[in-house]
Amino acid sequence: MTGQATDRALRGRVTQEVAEVIATRRVGAYQHITLVAPGVAELARPGQFIALAVGGESSGTLLRRSFSIHRVSPSGTYGGTVEIVVSAVGAGTRWIVDRVPHDTIDVVGPLGKAFPLPTEPVACVLVGGGYGSAPLFWLAGELRERGCHVEMVLGAASEDRLFGVVEARRSCDGVTVTTDDGSAGHRGWVSDVLPDIIDRTNAGVVYGCGPMGMLESITRVAEAHGAVAQVAVEESMACGIGVCMTCVMPVVGSDGRTRMVRSCVEGPVFRGDRVRWDAFDGGHARVPDDCVGAPKVGGH
Amino acid sequence: MTGQATDRALRGRVTQEVAEVIATRRVGAYQHITLVAPGVAELARPGQFIALAVGGESSGTLLRRSFSIHRVSPSGTYGGTVEIVVSAVGAGTRWIVDRVPHDTIDVVGPLGKAFPLPTEPVACVLVGGGYGSAPLFWLAGELRERGCHVEMVLGAASEDRLFGVVEARRSCDGVTVTTDDGSAGHRGWVSDVLPDIIDRTNAGVVYGCGPMGMLESITRVAEAHGAVAQVAVEESMACGIGVCMTCVMPVVGSDGRTRMVRSCVEGPVFRGDRVRWDAFDGGHARVPDDCVGAPKVGGH
Amino acid sequence: MVDLSVDLGGGHRLPNPLMTASGCAANGKELHRFFDVSDLGAFVTKSVMADPRSGRGTPRMAETASGMLNSIGLQGPGIEAFVDEDLPWLQSVGARVMPSIAGSSSTEYAHVAATLRASRAFDAVVGVEVNISCPNVANRGLVFACDPMASAKVIALVREQLPRDIPVFAKLSPDVTDITAIAAACVKAGAEGLTMINTLLGMVIDTDLMRPQLGGVTGGLSGPGIRPVAVRAIWQVRQAMFEGRIPTVPIIGVGGVRTGRDALEMVAAGASAIQVGTVVFNDPSAPVRVLRELCELLEAKGYDRFTDAVAVAHGR
Amino acid sequence: MVDLSVDLGGGHRLPNPLMTASGCAANGKELHRFFDVSDLGAFVTKSVMADPRSGRGTPRMAETASGMLNSIGLQGPGIEAFVDEDLPWLQSVGARVMPSIAGSSSTEYAHVAATLRASRAFDAVVGVEVNISCPNVANRGLVFACDPMASAKVIALVREQLPRDIPVFAKLSPDVTDITAIAAACVKAGAEGLTMINTLLGMVIDTDLMRPQLGGVTGGLSGPGIRPVAVRAIWQVRQAMFEGRIPTVPIIGVGGVRTGRDALEMVAAGASAIQVGTVVFNDPSAPVRVLRELCELLEAKGYDRFTDAVAVAHGR
Ligand SMILES: Cc1cc2nc3c(=O)[nH]c(=O)nc-3n(C[C@H](O)[C@H](O)[C@H](O)COP(=O)(O)OP(=O)(O)OC[C@H]3O[C@@H](n4cnc5c(N)ncnc54)[C@H](O)[C@@H]3O)c2cc1C
Ligand SMILES: Cc1cc2nc3c(=O)[nH]c(=O)nc-3n(C[C@H](O)[C@H](O)[C@H](O)COP(=O)(O)OP(=O)(O)OC[C@H]3O[C@@H](n4cnc5c(N)ncnc54)[C@H](O)[C@@H]3O)c2cc1C
Ligand SMILES: Cc1cc2nc3c(=O)[nH]c(=O)nc-3n(C[C@H](O)[C@H](O)[C@H](O)COP(=O)(O)O)c2cc1C
Ligand SMILES: Cc1cc2nc3c(=O)[nH]c(=O)nc-3n(C[C@H](O)[C@H](O)[C@H](O)COP(=O)(O)O)c2cc1C
Ligand code: FES
Ligand code: FES
């Protein structure tokens, strides 16, 4: 455990509650779900996530599923609500999108570190890949409240996998859309349009949320254009609360040394230039040889 | 496998279908559920049962739960329906009673042997313990169609655990109710009132469905009063279709020899005097020493 | 269309790699009500011993998380009744049969194999599975499959009784420190194939009665919950074959297969055929459903032949 | 009120029998956000080795039916950091601590035990759990727990390093042919207790990529799906104690406990304390929930003392 960072993460309060689904609707390829979860709603910050239990008391699916918090409303008719945007890819997410209003889901959250906010009103670019845009609108609002100029880039494979284009136009100072197939906006990747936007706005920070490959290229582009990248990663997580050590990835600490750190408590948001992108390969992450405690030649 | 009996059981046709719940309502301590299952409805006979899968595709509960068929309506607005009466005792039955209309349940059935019907119009007494009465009303109707005088005895621990008293009055020539606590009808057991009813009606057959202890006493009383007992047993079943050998009990065959027979295909209805009641003890059934293939002293 | 056929030895080309698992399908008639048992690559029957057996008292089952325990105690009609009634019936419907045989001593195994061989419907047999997870009366009830020497002796004696074109499959128990050692002993003794895995020894306490739930106290754990153990066993033994520590023979994978994906998982780990056991209790037509799903998956992945997918996960 | 207290040796009376399982609760701070870790009978920490370790590459987990596989590779800060930071923190919140220690050689185990013993917060320690499911570098990577001799050597060396009033618990692997043989070797070498069971060796193939899903190829299977194996292991070892084949020592039960009923099951089979592992990932406050449920069950059954329920299922 890398003392300082962990302690900071652990100071954040967390709760577990049985949340009622009060609304669920299809948005393109995704399901937008609103949960009554006053405890989470009160504590959460943009960039944090929640972990949902799947199935009932005798479910064979033991591990929780993690979702970025799209938005919270700390109070309302039903008490505080939390919204998430879910892409149904496997049995767990299918179960979640099949819930109807009044069904309940067990929620743990808010989890992880939030996006750090700049202390000065610098320009920011927010880049979301697919449902990765979900946490960015809330972030955009907070940044603009601090006087930041905020532009957003939304990218996806195709139009139906974009999330929140209309909301982006409402909440940001500029929006650029890219799709791999050209079905909406520019044909291509977010990294094609990002350099110009950073240069044009003279952005100080680029926030990113989406697939690993995209986060790596955001980091590269940001660096090349003089901005800091803050990226929210998505690793397989067994516990989401920092106790199992399954969600680790190699990250360089403030002392310059690489450690396998837990993305659930020390992330999911990391400074892009701290992530050891060189260690990732097709869903696997190697332990870099210079990592603290790495197996020596001849093996542990 | 005891050749003949099995072959007969296996000639019966069976189907597997995804049934929609179209009605579900509380009746005393039970849940009365109506399923659209045209295939089962068409094939079923009184005394047979269905086996329901529990939970969804990733359920940790693998084994089906068995329920006597309460009633079938071979056609109707929705196609054929099948009704069951469920007592929620554990996780599986709780899941089943929690289904709401339009939910679906995977059904296999009809399973097992039906109650044999007398070829002559003899008087019959039908004895149901708790939800054990569920299959008897349908049976009563068939018996009366054949000109049999039909009386029913319904017994339970308390009034809320009786099922179908009103329906019994409608479908039978006489109804007697007993409860252990006297909250309805006679205080006491069905075996207290049964001798008189057999004698009075000069009954030739006593049909029984309920807990093991009750079935044993029905058998004893019927024998003592010159009637044949036909009892539907309820053993733990892993498959319900005759392939696993978990549901066996010691039963005497037509050759006078005891075998461990499968209650799911050679039952659930057995002639009471064929069941080796002496082998049962607190939920366990021993293999009688004279059973075909019983372990010899010194072990197999 | 993917070519699903597979040759497990003896020149019997099976039309596809899907089988029932011994003891989870009885001897055919029951499942034939749900699907045509001749649609399977082979039908594996309930382990049969020399004499009729009553099996154990009840309860014989306990449900567990994603699985179940059983303690049937090898109830069955004995080999004579099996060859007189069950095998001819399976032959009459066109099934390819893999009888599973068992014994309390190595000579009992040999006797059962000899009786089988001499039977009139033996033509339907495409292989014999030897269930060595039986208590060995000569060795204080230690199961054969836990001891390489005892396992080898059974296999050698059974091998002698059967014609050369009938491959013998040794069915291994996972309850051992090193499954590759047992596998090696069986193959060296003449097994032309291995079936993996039998159930894990387990136990459930009935907390209402505060006593063991099964009449037989302990029982065999099966179902999807144990699949990772089966995949690991198949992988390890297949790896040992690649490394030359065991001669290469076909492996039949069994343990918790519920879907085509699960079957493919075992195939990629090294199985040349797949048995579906406990999941039949959940879905009586599971073996043919799994076959269909496996076929669709192979097709989607661009395989022309099922056999090209066998053991592909090694060395990736 | 049921008296839940239990004495696991060394005169440390624990207020209740519920514990975390090593590696499923980190070293306390994380779970302390959900419940007060001093409410547990003891807090079992992540197995710690001599030096800092990065653990294995990722993916390190695969979900399985009613369970999961992990291949963490004993990531940790090393014993120095543990005694400087983690143990004092646990002491500061009033937790009773059962550190879990590990090594690649018996001398590494001894060194870790010695460092622990010499540490300033050692007062918080009520016992030491020795995780012998580690690859033994001196023996071609065969895990200690698979070999009675290697297990005994580790236990004897660790025992020597620790004061008499600190009971040593050997944590056994179920992946052996006869767990009572390993248990006997450990107790004879000085273990005052046994923890059963560690994970089962398992494997999952990623059928999208057609390669092992875990970076470490094989992994440890845990969760409710394996509970019957844990209950059986506890039962067998406890039975061997009743029969005088192993000296009687307390058993800590672990493996798939999800509810108070599950805990009671292990208790009835012979466990004097219970650890909750994987289920914490499903429900972060599971250890205290299970304790509450266990207490309610004991109360409903009319037990005055928790210890009266230990091993009651034997001989019924
Ligand atoms: C911090 C974080 C934030 C996330 N935010 C969102 C979001 O806002 N919207 C959304 O749709 N999805 C999000 N995901 C991904 C989501 O958690 C997975 O899609 C989901 O876990 C898949 O579960 P499944 O049962 O459908 O798939 P399966 O493939 O059946 O899952 C099997 C196992 O793998 C894990 N797994 C599979 N895919 C992923 C993945 N991409 N990331 C992490 N674990 C995975 C599952 O959790 C489970 O343990 C997020 C993941 C993380 C870690
Ligand atoms: C032929 C037959 C007909 C039945 N008819 C009815 C009916 O009409 N109405 C009704 O409410 N119940 C009926 N039952 C009993 C019903 O199947 C059980 O109550 C149910 O299986 C319990 O499941 P559970 O998950 O709620 O309980 P759990 O205790 O969680 O079940 C655990 C395991 O034990 C088995 N089991 C538990 N209790 C019984 C039992 N009493 N009989 C058989 N298996 C059991 C379950 O099937 C399951 O495999 C019948 C059983 C059989 C065999
Ligand atoms: C009820 C039951 C009975 C079984 N009987 C036998 C048997 O007679 N012979 C045998 O080799 N295996 C027997 N098995 C083991 C299965 O064939 C199979 O190896 C094991 O259950 C794992 O596969 P599964 O998870 O698909 O069931 C039996 C399993 C069950 C559940
Ligand atoms: C992610 C994970 C990490 C584990 N790490 C350790 C460990 O470091 N030391 C150890 O003795 N056991 C370790 N275990 C095993 C558990 O302590 C426990 O013995 C096993 O998981 C069975 O219990 P469960 O089913 O309740 O998890 C680990 C288990 C998991 C799931
Ligand atoms: S998911 Fe368990 S430590 Fe991060
Ligand atoms: S329940 Fe399987 S044979 Fe009867």
Number of the ligand 6 atom closest to the C-alpha atom of B240: 1
Task: Using the mean position of ligand 1's atoms as its centre, give its distance from the Cα of residue A236 in Å.
Answer: 7
Which pLDDT band holds residue C172 (cuts at 50, 70, 90)? very high
Per-residue pLDDT at A217: 96
The residue among B5 and B142 whose pLDDT is bigger is: B142
DSSP state of D46: P
Write the CB contacts of C75 (distance below 8 Å, at least 6 apart in sequence). Answer: B245, B248, B260, B293, C53, C54, C55, C56
Looking at chain A, which residue has its C-alpha nearest residue B54?
A58
Nearest-CA neighbor of D141 among C174, C314, A300, C183?
A300
Q: Rounded CA gap, C95 and C82, in Å?
A: 15
Quick one: tokens of C119? 């039977």
Residue B135 contacts residue B46 (beta carbons within 8 Å): yes
Interface test with A, best of B54, B58, B98, B103 (most A CBs within 10 A): B58
Q: Give how far C112 is from chain B: nearest CA, Å.
A: 16
Whether C237 shows a pLDDT value over 90: the answer reads yes
Q: Spell out which residues of chain B touch residue A60, defining contact as CB-CB under 8 Å.
A: 55, 58-61
In order of their start, the domains of chain A are 3-111 (2.40.30.10), 124-233+268-285 (3.40.50.80)
In this prediction, residues C58-78 reach a mean pLDDT of 96
Query: Residue D278 is which amino acid?
Result: T
Domain covering D6-309, topology: TIM Barrel (3.20.20)
Q: Is A284 helix (H, G, I), strand (E, B) or coil?
A: strand
Residue-wise pLDDT tens digits, A63-121: 999 999 999 998 777 789 999 999 999 999 999 999 999 999 999 999 999 999 999 99
In b/e form, how buried is each residue of B32-66, taking b as 16+ CB within 10 angstroms?
Answer: bbbbbbbbbbebbbbbbbbbbbbbbebbbbbbbbb
Contact A246 D70 (CB under 8 A): yes
The reply to whether omega before D197 is within 30° of 0 (cis) is yes
Q: Spell out which residues of chain D touch residue C211, defining contact as CB-CB under 8 Å.
A: 268, 313, 316
C-alpha distances (whole Å) from D135 to each of B59, B203, C243, D115 are: 35, 74, 21, 21
Whether A9 shows a pLDDT value over 90: the answer reads no
Per-residue pLDDT at A300: 42
Q: Give how far D92 is from chain A: nearest CA, Å.
A: 15
Q: Is residue A29 lining ligand 5, measured as CB closer than 6 Å?
A: no
Contact A91 B57 (CB under 8 A): yes
Residue-wise pLDDT tens digits, D35-61: 999 999 999 999 999 999 999 999 999
| Per-residue pLDDT tens listing for chain D (316 residues) | 899 999 999 999 999 999 999 999 999 999 999 999 999 999 999 999 999 999 999 999 999 999 999 999 999 999 999 999 999 999 999 999 999 999 999 999 999 999 999 999 999 999 999 999 988 888 888 899 999 999 999 999 999 999 999 999 999 999 999 999 999 999 999 999 999 999 999 999 999 999 999 999 999 999 999 999 999 999 999 999 999 999 999 999 999 999 999 999 999 999 999 999 999 999 999 999 999 999 999 999 999 999 999 999 998 7
Q: Rounded CA gap, B187 and B191, in Å?
A: 12
Q: Spell out which residues of chain D touch residue C146, defining contact as CB-CB under 8 Å.
A: 177-178
Closest-approaching ligand to the CA atom of C69:
3
Quick one: tokens of B245? 């050998």
Q: Rounded CA gap, A76 and C131, in Å?
A: 65
DSSP state of D288: H
Closest-approaching ligand to the CA atom of B9:
6
Q: Rounded CA gap, A269 and A272, in Å?
A: 9
Looking at chain D, which residue has its C-alpha nearest residue C314?
D211
The residue among B124 and D1 whose pLDDT is bigger is: B124
Q: Rounded CA gap, C274 and C258, in Å?
A: 11
In this prediction, residues B219-243 reach a mean pLDDT of 97
Per-residue pLDDT at B296: 75
C-alpha distances (whole Å) from D155 to each of D170, D175, D251 are: 7, 19, 16
DSSP state of D251: E
In this prediction, residues C251-264 reach a mean pLDDT of 98
Whether B78 shows a pLDDT value over 80: the answer reads no
Per-residue pLDDT at B11: 57
Alpha helices by DSSP H, chain D: 29-32, 79-81, 87-92, 106-117, 148-161, 179-188, 227-242, 260-269, 279-282, 286-300
Per-residue pLDDT at A10: 53
Q: Give how far A89 is from chain B: nearest CA, Å.
A: 14
D134 included as an active-site residue: yes
Q: Rounded CA gap, B15 and B37, in Å?
A: 10
Residue C224 contacts residue C281 (beta carbons within 8 Å): no
Query: Residue C103 is which amino acid?
Result: G
- The average confidence (pLDDT) of chain C is 97
Looking at chain C, which residue has its C-alpha nearest residue A62?
C65
Contact B243 C68 (CB under 8 A): no
- Tell me what percent of the residues of chain C surpass a pLDDT of 90: 96
Write the CB contacts of D146 (distance below 8 Å, at least 6 apart in sequence). Answer: C177, C178, D173, D175, D176, D182
In this prediction, residues C63-68 reach a mean pLDDT of 98
Per-residue pLDDT at B1: 39
Whether B298 shows a pLDDT value over 60: the answer reads no
Write the CB contacts of D15 (distance below 8 Å, at least 6 apart in sequence). Answer: D4, D5, D41
Q: Spell out which residues of chain D touch residue A300, defining contact as CB-CB under 8 Å.
A: 53, 73, 104
Query: In chain C, where are the structural domains located?
Result: 6-309
* Count of residues in chain D: 316
Per-residue pLDDT at A2: 41
Write the CB contacts of A200 (distance below 8 Å, at least 6 apart in sequence). Answer: none
Q: Rounded CA gap, B56 and B284, in Å?
A: 31
Contact B245 C285 (CB under 8 A): no
pTM above 0.90, yes or no: yes
Among positive and negative, which fits the CA dihedral C178, C184, C190, C192? Answer: positive
In chain A, helix, strand, coil percent, each to 5? 25, 35, 40
Closest-approaching ligand to the CA atom of D62:
1
